[in-house]
Amino acid sequence: AQTVTQSQPEMSVQEAETVTLSCTYDTSESDYYLFWYKQPPSRQMILVIRQEAYKQQNATENRFSVNFQKAAKSFSLKISDSQLGDAAMYFCAYRRSNTGNQFYFGTGTSLTVIP
């Protein structure tokens, strides 16, 4: 099974500042997909951003962007201009591109935003 590692169980950021959440993964595949999901307190998990491994350009979604380093098997999430509503648990996830829909999730990073 693929493994996804999030080495930061908890992070904090000052409101309006920038924070980067780390994620590394292990795979022998050359093509795959990577995702960041957000789970706000007591609310359902939603997709933040996704990246195709064969695309060199880093994905961006408004204040959220990724730094995808394929050779290093690293997929970090950068949140710019942090807002109170960004406080949540963030999960990095991996999915193979050619079979099924099984996702492999990391252990999560709990982000606190300090007013």
Is residue 41 within the footprint of another protein (CB under 8 A)?
A: no
Cβ-proximal residues to 17 (8 Å cutoff; 6+ apart), any chain: 81, 82
Is residue 100 within the footprint of another protein (CB under 8 A)?
A: yes
Q: How far is the CB of 26 from another protein (least distance, A)?
A: 15
Is residue 68 within the footprint of another protein (CB under 8 A)?
A: no
Cβ-proximal residues to 84 (8 Å cutoff; 6+ apart), any chain: 15, 113, 115
Among positions 91, 94, 111, 113, the unique one binding another protein when judged by CB under 8 A:
91
Among positions 44, 71, 72, 84, the unique one binding another protein when judged by CB under 8 A:
44
Take residue 107 and report the two structure tokens written for it.
């252990």
Dist. CA 112–CA 13, nearest whole Å: 6
Is residue 50 within the footprint of another protein (CB under 8 A)?
A: yes
Is residue 3 within the footprint of another protein (CB under 8 A)?
A: no
* CB distance 53 to 75 below 8 Å: no
Is residue 97 within the footprint of another protein (CB under 8 A)?
A: yes
Which DSSP state fits 58? P
Dist. CA 100–CA 97, nearest whole Å: 8
Contacts to another protein by CB under 8 A? 1, 6, 9, 33, 35, 37, 42-47, 50, 52, 91, 97-103, 105-108
